[in-house]
Structure 1
């Protein structure tokens, strides 16, 4: 099998590059296994003092999980393979978050779904002026995962609900404001950032203090422009505090009638997305606010994704419409928010997968 990553250790820095540029570095099962193996080896390697995580090509860090692979597994009746994929992916996300070696992620360009799971759990998280960051799962009839619901639940105000339900794409400034990134570094300064990380790691201080790594990133960062999310924060907080998705839509319609055209567009979007997906995403974000840590968030997400894989048609239909056939005309079931059972979110959260996440 041809390797789908580039991993090398020199000058006390472990360079880990996702290497599927033709697929925007999408994460397949075997690729995740490669990443896991490298992280495990470097965890106990005294010659690796800093890990630098980035993506090959100039279009993006990582577009997310390989949903074609996921779609094929479910359609073929191999739900166990799909659940196995998520267990491996979440283990990698946790390994990055818990790494004793500071991990610096460079989320340049497109960074979505599983890419956020890799990049946004690093000790130092860098975006650029080219970054486009999103948890777009509701567009394929799914729910934010890879620790995304945990991260979004901690965004200011009700931005978590807004970003999750509507699959909103953020630029670098938005990602910093929402808490998915720490520093905005211009692309022209990335080579200097990499070299300074090498200089820090090669200085011989063992272990490397994560704060010194953050200081290197701050040295090359610029003050982000004002996030566009701020301009709609008050309206987001008011509308997305509603108890249910239909009530959120109603508040957005009211804001639209008062002259906020963007609110009307958001309402249209929520009504076009999978009713099941947006309902479960809302429940997931709100439940994640009560959880103590990332691992608990990943456990909750594993229950939810298993529920989708095992019992729900919208995930397969969403991937078909958006990625496989690309007709952009999904047939959701149920078709409207009015037909969603009141206890749907609670039932999804209570689902018990066949296999445990950790084990």
Structure 2
């Protein structure tokens, strides 16, 4: 069975992630094949729109193949994971700059690498079933695939909140945070995708877009912005506990269950992403951080606890926020020399997508 399928319908070209039993998690081969298809379609006048969907009923994509990353970090030299990230991040940048409408159907679960293959697109559609998250701190990792770039652009401190907690959000909150553009009922998706064969994207959207069900983040903006504006994770936790409300207290407890190292590196990564500018510069930074995570103990331990043994009892090292020093954090951002990703040096001025 092919892990990614391609077909055309009218003037639309379709990418279908086709690993439903693995919730369409991405492999390096899938990433490379998608990149090849985008290259072919970019210069094909018969293709006016690209559409990406996920096979099965559960969602678009749950992320990368983290079991493979676990094995590579534990037993290998990290080169397989580094090669995967190099190609994946280049694809994320390619999607963001694609000169034709790139329509991502973000139905169901969209997490980690699934966000990277969808939320950089020019047309991002969510439904009442959408559950979107960057949950990396729970496995001792840091949001990547341009996730720190996207979350740094969210209003106020909503992106910092989502990056640190890994909270999954629905359609309205995805729209609020800038991770999606349009909502439609899941029952309309088939008709919408079929309409893209003959209609412009704008006309197809006009037929199906509706207001989403209410979200949760807008009502929590005051305390989220106040607490997550702190300069340190320790101060964020202190403010959450002092806030007094049950939601803030639950958020503090959520943070304290995550990898202390991943939390501190994530906060630094989001703060730096706000100053870096274009996506490619942030992806270069994420590549440095991701490679550093391969050498740190929490990534292997986090994946073991959450995915492999599923005991949900990771033993983080260091075990507390206080033990993670500024020097520990800084090591994750160290330059890689000849091993740098180098997307910023290769990028050109983005082309404007008109549809």
Interval containing the TM-score (normalised by the shorter chain): over 0.9
Question: CA separation in 1, counterparts of 2:132 and 2:153?
Answer: 16
Partner of 2:348: none
CA RMSD after TM alignment: 1.4
Deviation sequence 1:70-117 (CA, Å, 0-9, x none): 111112223111111100111111121111121100010000000000
Hey, what does 1:206 align to over in structure 2? Answer: none
The CA distance in 2 between the partners of 1:179 and 1:172, in whole Å, is 11
Kept in 2: contact 1:193–1:216 (CA 8 A): yes
Give CA-to-partner distance per residue, 1:257-309, whole Å, 9 cap, x none. xxx01111111111111000000110111111112211111111111101111
Which deviates more from structure 2 when the two are superposed, residues 349-358 or residues 337-346?
A: 349-358
Contact 1:54 1:105 in 2 (8 A): yes
Find the aligned partners of 1:6 and 1:90 in 2 and give their Cα distance: 21
CA distance in 1, matches of 2:314, 2:150: 28
Q: CA separation in 2, counterparts of 1:113 and 1:33?
A: 18
Are 1:163 and 2:162 matched, yes or no? yes
Which residue of 2 is the match for residue 235 of structure 1? 223
| Aligned-partner Cα distance in 1 for 2:261–2:84 | 22
* Residue 224 (structure 1) aligned with residue 223 (structure 2): no
Q: Find the aligned partners of 1:344 and 1:254 in 2 and give their Cα distance.
A: 28
Matched, 1:174 2:173: yes
Counterpart in the other structure of 1:272: 257
- Which of 333, 336, 347 matches 1:352? 336
| Correspondence for 2:316 | 332
Which structure 1 segments of 5+ residues have no match? 201-211
Q: Normalised by the size of structure 1, how large is the TM-score?
A: 0.92
Mapped contact 1:62–1:112 kept (Cα < 8 A): yes
- Which of 271, 294, 304 is the aligned partner of 1:286? 271
In structure 2, the partner of 1:106 is 105
Are the aligned partners of 1:279 and 1:344 in contact in 2 as well (CA < 8 Å)? no
* Distance across 2 between alignment mates of 1:347 and 1:358: 19
SS in 2 for 1:289: helix
Maintained 8 Å contact 1:303/1:349? yes
State the alpha-carbon separation in 2 of the partners of residues 95 and 44 from structure 1: 14
TM-score, length basis structure 2: 0.93
The question of whether the paired residues in 1 share the 8 Å contact of 2:11 and 2:196 is answered with no
1:313 to 297, 301, 308: 297
Distance 2:215 2:107 in 1: 17
- Of 280, 285, 296, 1:295 maps to 280
Structure 2 counterpart SS, 1:16? strand
Shift of 1:224: 2.1
Question: Equivalent residue for 1:121?
Answer: 120
Decide whether the 8 Å contact of 2:125 with 2:181 is kept in 1: yes
1:97, 1:348 → 2: CA distance?
Answer: 25
Distance 1:218 1:184 in 2: 11
The size of the alignment, in residue pairs, is 343
Tell me how far apart the structure 1 counterparts of residues 279 and 26 of structure 2 sit (CA, whole Å).
21
* TM-aligned CA deviation for residue 346 of structure 1: 3.1
Query: How do residues 50-69 of structure 1 correspond to structure 2 at under 5 angstroms?
Result: 50-69=49-68
Q: Return the offset for 1:354.
A: 5.5
Distance 1:141 1:40 in 2: 34
Aligned to 2:347: none
1:161 and 1:214 map into 2 onto residues whose CA distance is: 32
Rounded to whole Å, the distance in 1 between the matches of 2:208 and 2:327 is 49
Task: Name the CA distance, whole Å, in 2 between partners of 1:218 and 1:109.
Answer: 22
Matches of 2:202 and 2:259 in 1, distance apart? Answer: 40
Cα deviation per residue 1:174-219 (whole Å; 9 max; x = unaligned)? Answer: 111111000011111112211221112xxxxxxxxxxx52453244
SS in 2 for 1:8: strand
